[in-house]
Structure 1
Amino acid sequence: MIVNRIVLSLFIVGLLWSCNNDDNSAPAPDPPRPLGEVLAEDEAKIQEYLKTHFYNYAEFQDPPEDFDYQIRVQEIPEGNTDTIPLIDQIESVEIKVPSSHYLIDGPAETVTHKLYYLKAREGLGESMTVADSAFVQYRGNLLTGEIFDENNADAPVWFDLAILQAPATSNISGTAARGFAEGVSLFKGGDEVIVNEDGTYSVENYGIGLFIFPSGLGYYNLARSTIPSYSPLVFSIDLFAVNQADHDGDGIPSIKEDTNGDGYLFNDDADNDGLPDYLDAETN
């Protein structure tokens, strides 16, 4: 994979590109519905999608000479019983989501959501955590197939996965889909980046995958750009490189400041000052 020369320095990306320019004239969202109720609806939609769609696994198993190693998902033609559907190739992880993340009225509850993922190629480089930064090419679409966001193959971008986990109640601006951070963290980067004579970078054996998650791991009741409220989301990604993060510069990797070990950085606040430990140099 050849990518254009880009300074590999971290910049915090709070929202996926298409979600940066929200329409300020859009009406305020309705009060959020109960998590469990919405999750049941999302799960039914996701299961139907997994049963009726497949990805180009044959090309990954026996790559043609000009294969670009991009995941392509298509609907299984009616009557086709030979194609392997996504539901027979997908894996899942469970992620707990508290109702407080979306300011839902009523008794507090924590609902376990499933994130579904497929590793077309795991990657042979560095492992990721949800506290690190990822250099990726990505495409996001709805279950209908409509693409709501993507970046050019020659222009990968850095995402700070920790910031993408921030809940709606956080005072950290620019929060985005937690499911994106959780999904990317399941893959590995590529081999060592090689700088070519023409100023491009060569990266081989990078992670390639697909993940799908319910709206409780996305934007929930908030409509974003062309994403309707309560929308499950689908992402395909190429993970080229990984940067282990130390957000507060205290010499401790941010993932080590997940003191309760649940993989979520916003509920660790040792000194109760309202600032997560991974952003607070005074806690370690």
Structure 2
Amino acid sequence: MKLRNAYLLIAGLLIITSCKNDDDGVEAVQPRLLSEVTIEDDAEIIDFLKTHFYNEDEFENPPEDFDFKIKFGTIEGENSGRQSIFDSPKLITQTITVDSEDLGRADDEIIEQKLYTLVVRQGVVEGTPTIGDNVVLRYEGSFLDGSLFDASSNQPISFNLSGVVRGFGNGMKNFQTGIGPKDNGDGTVSYEGYGIGAIFIPSGLGYFDSSSSSGNVPAYSPLIFKIDALEFEADTDLDGDGIPSIQEDLDGNGNLNDDNTDLDFLANHNDNDDDGDGILTIDEIKIDNQIKKDEEGNIIFPDTDGDGTPDHLDNDL
């Protein structure tokens, strides 16, 4: 899938591939500071949001043949009086902290990123997906100039939000989903009352100086994803270890891929033996052969030696 997370690439390989010699006909892309790129990206995204509107009137009063697709237009000419996306009450702004180390850098920068999510229509099903959940949706990825670089088919596609660029997963946390799937009898399915919107992603929460799997996203590109949020699986347990994937975000930073207790090639949410001691996590979180939870539904993790580290994260009991 083109949305596969760029952060999973080896750090050294990122820099090597982004700095190819001009002799082979590829323009060299020099590494830049996350702090510098962040300022530029946010300015470009804000400029887009302030100079563009979306087809709010169609969503407020849908014509009979309306396809419920978001369309952006420039605020000029006959549209000069339109409300900008930036001023829309349906625009949500999130601040997310990014460590440059997660982008393959060794310059020790920790920089706040602004993520903007436009929720044009909220879904009818209560609850929203977390960064560890499986989702079913349709999407369309473009650059700020409107040119497409990626899109799903018209039919729903499913994947886990931990496996896509970070801004996409964190933006999806703002969307409720719909009712379905309904079998249409022709090999297709449909949903009703699903969430619709768009996520505006700075490159620090996107591909930064790497690219999508197809290689068609230039370095340091802010992105727009239009979203149809159809369905999600609450408390997805991706590795089947008995712990919902979202609870394996140990540092709570909204990025599951940097939590790796045993420092192997698998982050905890993809690892069924989180501490690498040869005992499956699902067996180390049981008390009297049962996974016990508190009144709020949180798992009570055993800590046999009382050192403050739960058994499933402690390879030296």
TM class, shorter-length: 0.7 to 0.9
Q: Is the 8 A contact 1:33 1:104 kept in 2?
A: no
Aligned partner of residue 247 in structure 2, secondary structure = helix
Give distance in 2, aligned partners of 1:29 and 1:251. 46
- Greater relative CO (CA pairs within 8 A, separation 6+): 1
- Does 1:160 find its partner at 2:160? yes
Q: Which residue of 2 aligns with 1:113?
A: 113
**Paired residue type of 1:145:** G
**Paired residue type of 2:119:** K
- Does 1:124 find its partner at 2:124? yes
1:231 corresponds to which of 221, 229, 240: 221
Higher Rg of the two aligned structures: 2
Identical residues among aligned pairs (%): 39
How far is 1:273 from its partner? 4.5
Q: Is the 8 A contact 2:166 2:255 kept in 1?
A: no
Give distance in 1, aligned partners of 2:152 and 2:54. 20
Q: Is the 8 A contact 2:170 2:254 kept in 1?
A: no
Flag the 1:28–1:97 CA change in 2: closer, same or farther, 3 A. Answer: farther
- Does 1:145 find its partner at 2:149? no
- Does 1:189 find its partner at 2:190? no
Q: Which residue of 2 aligns with 1:88?
A: 87
More displaced 10-residue stretch of structure 1: 266-275 or 205-214: 266-275
**Paired residue type of 1:233:** L
How far is 1:103 from its partner? 2.5
Give distance in 2, aligned partners of 1:29 and 1:211. 29
Give distance in 2, aligned partners of 1:207 and 1:257. 27
Q: Is the 8 A contact 1:31 1:104 kept in 2?
A: no
Give distance in 2, aligned partners of 1:161 and 1:28. 32
Give the unaligned 5+ runs of structure 2.
Answer: 7-16, 275-311, 313-317
How far is 1:250 from its partner? 1.3
Give distance in 2, aligned partners of 1:56 and 1:47. 19
Q: Is the 8 A contact 1:29 1:221 kept in 2?
A: no
Q: Is the 8 A contact 1:32 1:103 kept in 2?
A: no
More displaced 10-residue stretch of structure 1: 69-78 or 216-225: 216-225
Give distance in 2, aligned partners of 1:30 and 1:104. 15
Give distance in 2, aligned partners of 1:215 and 1:267. 18
How far is 1:81 from its partner? 3.9
How far is 1:26 from its partner? 7.9
Q: Is the 8 A contact 2:75 2:81 kept in 1?
A: no
Q: Is the 8 A contact 1:56 1:72 kept in 2?
A: yes
Aligned partner of residue 43 in structure 1, secondary structure = helix
Deviations 1:144-203 (A, max 9, x none): 1111112232x2211221122xxxxxxxxxxxx221222223212211423344444231
RMSD: 2.5
Flag the 1:116–1:201 CA change in 2: closer, same or farther, 3 A. Answer: same
Give the unaligned 5+ runs of structure 1.
Answer: 1-12, 165-176
Q: Which residue of 2 aligns with 1:240?
A: 230
Alignment: residue pair count: 253
Q: Which residue of 2 aligns with 1:169?
A: none
How far is 1:248 from its partner? 1.4
Q: Which residue of 2 aligns with 1:171?
A: none
Q: Which residue of 1 aligns with 2:206?
A: 218
Within 5 Å, give how 1:1-284 maps onto structure 2.
Answer: 13=1, 15-16=2-3, 27=26, 30-78=29-77, 80-89=79-88, 90-106=91-107, 108-125=108-125, 126-153=127-154, 155-164=155-164, 177-224=165-212, 225-244=215-234, 245-273=236-264, 275-283=266-274, 284=312
Flag the 1:147–1:70 CA change in 2: closer, same or farther, 3 A. Answer: same
How far is 1:47 from its partner? 1.3
